Structure 1
């Protein structure tokens, strides 16, 4: 099992939106080749992820979710009405990949980045690296356990 952190701006897709989903929801619209490769090559059914609200006040971790099923072509790459449309996407859908996720738990409080920066054991966490812009990134098992401990889990 691997652990991940997945970012979304809450005005685009929030933890509350995911909580309303009656079945696993598609995490679409990632247009970065590193993220595509994580989805395709590293992430697996049953992996766990933190849901992180980015560009929020405060930005931080708001819950946990489970990766459901296999990676599949992101249908938004073919939709000319989508913000994520890619006119150069090949017909086989191999350029952009997405994953289904299901909420496990919405945290009672946001764990802000400022708190993560001050937490021993998280000094090397990719999220906290200067210039880090990925919307999906791996989390170590130790980081997973420390952050869940901040929430009392």
Structure 2
């Protein structure tokens, strides 16, 4: 999943490259967020859930005068792939890990004149909760005892 995501969104050093990045990220995040939000979470997850950024991505696209793309990921395919706790953990690992990378990407976006109010809302949102990754690591540790 991670390699497919990387190849579809790429990096960005220019505003044009950033414009190419946004649609791929939105397509992936909408499908993945729908799948994980509709998944059955084991009790050992507690009330933790991942940060949702798809709506912020849509706003970022609008800021840059872009339309949302057709989804290349079929939502039911991702949902079907989350049929057990291990698959859910793997998908959440990709989503939560992207928040760590968002700190670097947010800095790049700022260099392009984008910020939390225009064009880079989704990156700002991902960087807000610094405890989320630590909480997710704790969940993975509990999973090691439960699975």
- Normalized against structure 1, the TM-score is what? 0.24
Q: Which structure: greater helix fraction?
A: 2
Q: Which structure: greater strand fraction?
A: 1
- Normalized against structure 2, the TM-score is what? 0.25
